[in-house]
Structures are given as C-alpha cells and as structure tokens.
Amino acid sequence: MTLQFSLGNTAATTVDTPCIVVGVYEQGALSSAAEAVDLASDGLIRQQIESGDITGKAGSSSVLFAPPGISAKRVLVVGLGVQKSFDGARFQKVNHEAARALGRLPLSTAVSYLSEVDVPGRDAAWRVRVAALASDFAAYRYTATFKPRDKPKPAELATLTFAAGDEAQAALEQAIAIAEGVRFARELANLPPNICNPAYIAAQAQAFADQHDKVSCKVLDETQMSELGFGSLLAVARGSANKPRLIALEYKGGNDGDKPYAFVGKGVTFDSGGLSLKPGPGMEDMKFDMGGAAGVMGAFVAAVKMGLKLNLVCVVPSVENMPGGDSYRPSDVLTSLSGLTIEVLNTDAEGRLILCDALTWTAKTFQPHTLIDAATLTGACVIALGKHASGLMSKHDDLAAELLAAGEETLDRAWRLPLWDDYQVQLESGFADVANIGGKTAGAITAGCFLSRFTDGQRWAHLDIAGTAWEDGRKGLATGRPVALLAQWLLSRSEK
C-alpha cells in the first residue's frame, strides 16, 4: 500500500484524528504545536519531560494516549535534539523516525505538525517536500515477498497530513512524484537476481512506456548489439545464460528539436566477478549491482510523473557477470563500440566495460545536452566516502556544481572527486589502448578516468553510488539513491 499525503491547517488542539505528531527539543523546549497541546492538556507534555519519559533526544518518540483537552486520540511526541544545532539533516531524520513510529501504531491516518518546525534557511515548501520523502521512505515495504503470510494484517498507516498552507502544495506534488520514482528504484533493486535479470528490467521499462503517452521504449538484444559493435558490453555478458539487453527509455516533455538530457545506469543484475571471482561472504549483495540502472530509471519515472518540460533519455546496459565456459578472461583484448581497444586485467571491473559502450551509443544516437551516468562502480568509493555521500566526477565545473547543489537541496548528497589527467597514466596498457583497471590506488578515480575516455565532447558527469545504493546488513534494502538528486537536478533545469 502506498502512503498518501495531503496538507491541512487545522490547529493541533482541535484536529479530529487518531494521532497528531509534535516535536520537543532537548532541555525541554517545545515546538509551537507541542506548546499548544501542552497548554490545552494542563501541562501533560511538560510533566512527561520532568519525569524523564520524554527526553527530546533526536528521533526518540513517546505516545500520549487520550490526552485531555484536545481532539486527537493520541499525541506522538518526537525528539528534535539540541535546538541550536537543528538543521536539514536532523529534520529529515526526525520525520523518518516519526513515520516509523506511526507505522507501529494501530492507525491508518495521522496529522504531522513537524512540517512547522523551523529549519534555518529553509521554507515551508522545502520542509513539506523533505518530510513527505522521509516519511515515504520509512513507510516503504518490500512487497514482492516470498514468505508465506498467514497472519491477518494489522492496521497500516495509509494517509499522512502535514500542517502547511497552499504555498506548499506544488512541493508536495513534487514529493509524491519523486517518492514514486524512489519506490520504483527500490523495488527493482530489491528483487532477487533469479527474477530481476536483463529481460525483466527491459519488460519493466516497456510496461512503464506503455502506460505513458510521451514515453517510448527501445530494447536491443545481443544480436542487434553484435551487429552494431558492442564488443565490450557483450564480452561481459558471455558467461551467463541470461542474455544481455540495452534498454532505452525516451520522454518527450519538451519542445521538438530540443536536445535531451541523458542518463545511463549500470545494470549488472548479478555480479559474481566473473572468472576474477568475488569472495563468497557478501556476494549476495551483488544483486544490488544494478542500483545505477534502478536509480536512473527511478529518476526517469519521477520526471515523467512531475510532467517536466524537457526531453529525457534513460539508457540501461544490462548484463549478468558470471563465470562460464565462454566467459571473458583476464588478458583478453576487447574492441569497444567507440573503436578503442581495452585490455582486461580483471573481469570484476565489468561495470565500466558495459558503461563505455552504452555511453558511446547514447552520445551518438541522441546527441544529448548533458550526459550523466550512475553506477555501483567501485569498492574504492565506499572506502573513500562510506555510505553517506555518492562520489561525483566531472571535468565540467558548472555541471558538478549543479549536481552538488541538487544533492544539498534533497539531502541526497554527493562529494566531488578529482578527474585529473594525472591519473590516466595508471590505465596505460602495453597491449591495447587502455586497461580496464588502474591498480590499487585511487580506484574510484581511475574508474572515472576510464569512462572519461568514452565521453569526449560530451558535457558529462559520473556518479559512483557503490556506497549509497543499499543499506548494510542481511536485511539491508535498496535506498533508491540517487533518484532524489537526479530528479531535483532535472527539476531545476526544467524551471530554467
């Protein structure tokens, strides 16, 4: 069930709802809605603070049942942390935790007054959009479950109203569209690799295109790619019984003749490493190696749902990287679609080998205004930036600045890494134009440098989302990043 959102401006003390959500800072400072509830209920919230039952610690929550003096049946009091250091990231966190807490209560609707909490430098529209996206993220449930379900389902949060005026309506509608894109990406990436293979991704793309008038879909199979000369991509796919696909979604929301914006996403539906086999522990996470594909497709969905006035292309090279009798080998030399030859030093550096052909094809076929790829490309990026920031590389300072700003606006943040020519020497080969790895040092950067050789003349940027595309742990789910970043970047382009 998808969480539905709306806006309302009824006072916290008089709104008739199963639950309202208010905020309390550490040291006992109350938000305006919490203050109103406290006054109407004869100091109930302050009594709980004095007893220690409510701490105000960021993300903590307490439920007050049947509070006197107000119409709501419950009050969920959420901790906001220290007031003087309250910022956008904390605001996102408390809304996420509030939605999680609401999800544990036996109710289907609630009203949140956290959207009224002041965030320095941010307006009501921003607060509503971030609150809605954080709440939707928390409410997401992986629906393609393979477990038997015999127990009756309890009441589930279905609608959430945010306290705000009409000035935030457009922002809420944007949030609903972006949330749909995030859910699309998460669902695709969470599926097991025996379901989500290249043909399945192609089918999902075609199904979306069939539902939207301004969207078309083209899929190339291995025969068509072979005729065109996709020598690098096809080499990666050779070891698998699941045949590769090149998927191209096209949205014509702008004027005829306007150059499209283009996204390319790495779609390795399972990455065993090929003959350069990965270690067994943790290999189950390699179903998420199509997180780049899921992310760009999710951003595409968001752009279509927002009805952005621009043209957009989304290209997904999709393969499965497996060891087999016909697998490509370390020391093979491949001829890419661009004509550049590539010496394979490691078959586990396969993402760049499918991306380079897809980038070449996208540039030639669509002649885009701007070309951006997203990929769970390197473990080195995870080491460098952890799970919080995506790696961003571009030789175009203006494009890098635009993407960084989009990340800050949505809190789907990236950090720029250098793409200097100094690093290119690490990719030199004695047997081909370029090697597919650059050695132990600067692995994320040399991967970006490799891709840069196939984007000459393009306004291009690369996002390495290896650290941000999914959560850690056996029950870790896909995050849907960088859907919000890319959707915001497109929204800003559309507004201009």
Q: Which residues are catalytic?
A: 278, 352
DSSP state of 260: P
Q: d(Cα 217, Cα 174) in Å, to the nearest integer?
A: 24
| Residue 446 vs residues 176, 379, 442: alpha-carbon distances, Å | 37, 12, 6
* Pairing, β 370-375 against β 261-265: parallel
The 10 Å CB-count burial string (b at 16+, else e) for 291-308 is bbbbbbbbbbbbbbbbeb
Hey, what are 457's tokens? 């003349």
Secondary structure of 121-182 as H, E, C letters: CCCHHHHHHHHHHHHHHHHCCCCCCCCCCCCCCCCCCCEEEEECCHHHHHHHHHHHHHHHHH
DSSP state of 470: B
Q: Is the CB of residue 259 less than 8 Å from the CB of residue 367?
A: yes
| Residue 456 vs residues 20, 209, 292, 338, 360: alpha-carbon distances, Å | 55, 30, 22, 11, 9
Q: d(Cα 90, Cα 134) in Å, to the nearest integer?
A: 11
Q: Is the CB of residue 305 less than 8 Å from the CB of residue 254?
A: no
Of the chain, the end-to-end C-alpha distance in Å amounts to 35
Burial of 391 (0-12, 13-18, 19+ CB in 10 A): buried
* Pairing, β 370-375 against β 311-321: unpaired
Question: Which residue reads 């809420």 in tokens?
Answer: 172
Q: Is the CB of residue 162 less than 8 Å from the CB of residue 121?
A: no
Give me the DSSP letters along 301-338. Answer: HHHHHHT-SSEEEEEEEEEEE---TT---TT-EEE-TT
The 10 Å CB-count burial string (b at 16+, else e) for 474-492 is eeebbbbbbbbbbbbbbbe
